[in-house]
Amino acid sequence: MKKIYSFLISVCFIPASLFAQGFKTNNTNGNLIDACGKNFILKGINVPLAWFVSNVNNSIPALKNNTKSNCLRIVVSETTPDNDWQTTVVNCIKNKIVPMVELHSVTGNTDPARLKAMGDFWAKKSSFFNNTNFNGVNIKKHILINLANEWGTWQTATNKNTVWRDAVINAIKPMRTAGISTTIVVDAVGYGQDIDEAWNLRTYGKDIQRADNLNLGGSANSTVNANILFSIHMYCEWKKGGDNIGIINSIKSSGLPVIVGEFGFQHATDGSCDIDEQLILNTCQNGGIGWLAWSQKGNGSSVAFLDLCVDWNCTQLSDWGNTIVNGTNGTKTAVECSVFANNSCTITSLIEEEISEEALCFPNPFNNSFTIESPTSFQYTIYDMRGIEIESGKGNISLNLGENLPAGRYLIKLQTNTKSKTVKLQKK
């Protein structure tokens, strides 16, 4: 017998404020989520602003046009005037590029107090990071902040103790206390490379997440609200015959969001540090992992081979640059962040609608699982109340879901051939 359903069901508007608070991490599947609740896989390059201010700032529109990068990692030092790096941030956003600012002042430093000073530095800029209308652009919605470049030496990594973990936890706390809620990017220890297939990151990453979860108002025993994106730099530790590049997929799937924040095709001219750059690109592509190649231009003579561009506008590329920009899975395959196409970040409208023979979710609230029933095939997406996607898939006629969800409130977006609706759900 054909089932007929006719009753009132709440279809909820997901407000812009839910998504407009900036980037967040999904600490279940390791994705980076933008302010519209969409997965963002960054593909871009590092730009040496701290040493070449005018060259970098004048090149932003051309970098977008010539490389199609969707993210730029902007090198900043403690002495870089605020106006210089903030101008770069604004230029990026106006050209539909996600800006990631990073402090380069403690590269290879081992003093925890110096790493905390980097957190204090960013904390003092909180009014900028939380600004929703700075020279006509919404900084809070678009910004990523890299705490510091490559703090900790090989010895720090080799000791395999909690020094890196504790230093990072202490450094990010003042940023959160200052009200900065967006994603903080944390470089791995050991000049960003770690050792033994990112042993320290894999061992202590969850501790850092739990500390950040507490900073952001959650429990010290949970990672759900943490907003940390880990960054591995792939040079000699990850050379051919070195650490297994594929481990980054396991790191991500364990709920530790990760990117490759720097890499090159070599790091020595004598062949002792030959890096499989195409394997890095392919592995990231297959795992949905972001990456940022080093670097635009301006490298010293000993590593000048890492210049991606012959000129600052990247109208002419080096062989290395051609691989990164035009090669398989290069920047020209980058997908622009959804926030630039959807300012409102609205999924549907708030209505009370009488549904007859459309997709239904029941029971609601539910204890163990709920059922979606529909006269036709459908697609579904489950979000937590921060707007972060938890799960998505397809069904036909009937589907049971929710067994793996912890107790709490959720939003589920249903899409049939003719209608789309978003329903509030609660698991007891």
Q: Cα dihedral angle (75, 81, 83, 86), rounded to 10 degrees?
A: 30
Q: Could you tell me the two tokens for 148?
A: 């510091």
pLDDT at 354 over 70: no
E strand intervals along 163-319: 184-187, 228-234, 258-263, 291-293
**Tally of residues, the chain:** 428
pLDDT at 421 over 90: no
- Distance, in Å, from the CA atom of 343 to the CA atom of 36, rounded to the nearest integer, reads 8
Identify whether 375 is preceded by a cis peptide bond (ω within 30 of 0): no
127-184: pLDDT as tens digits = 999 999 999 999 999 999 999 999 999 999 999 999 999 999 999 999 999 999 999 9
Is residue 358 very low, low, confident or very high in pLDDT (cuts 50, 70, 90)? low
Q: What is the mean pLDDT of residues 176-201?
A: 98
Domains of the chain: 6-16+345-427 (2.60.40.3080), 21-340 (3.20.20.80)
Where is 393: in which H helix or E strand? strand 389-401
- Distance, in Å, from the CA atom of 181 to the CA atom of 141, rounded to the nearest integer, reads 10
Cβ atoms of residues 426 and 409 within 8 Å:
yes
The sign one gets for the Cα dihedral 176, 288, 40, 60 is positive
* DSSP string of 357-389, one letter each residue: SS-EEESSSBSS-EEEEEEEEEEEEEEETTS-E
- Distance, in Å, from the CA atom of 163 to the CA atom of 213, rounded to the nearest integer, reads 20
Q: Higher pLDDT residue, 141 or 428? A: 141
61-73: pLDDT as tens digits = 999 999 999 999 9
Where is 285: in which H helix or E strand? helix 277-287
Amino acid of residue 419:
K
How far are the Cα atoms of 27, 266, 284 from residue 43, in angstroms, in the given order? Answer: 21, 19, 10
33-56: pLDDT as tens digits = 999 989 999 999 999 999 999 999
How far are the Cα atoms of 12, 82, 121 from residue 175, in angstroms, in the given order? Answer: 33, 17, 9
In sequence order, which residues have a C-beta less than 8 Å from that of residue 197 and are 6 or more positions away?
Answer: 243, 244, 247
4-15: pLDDT as tens digits = 333 333 444 444
Identify whether 81 is preceded by a cis peptide bond (ω within 30 of 0): no
- Per-residue model confidence (pLDDT) at position 343: 58
Q: Higher pLDDT residue, 277 or 3? A: 277
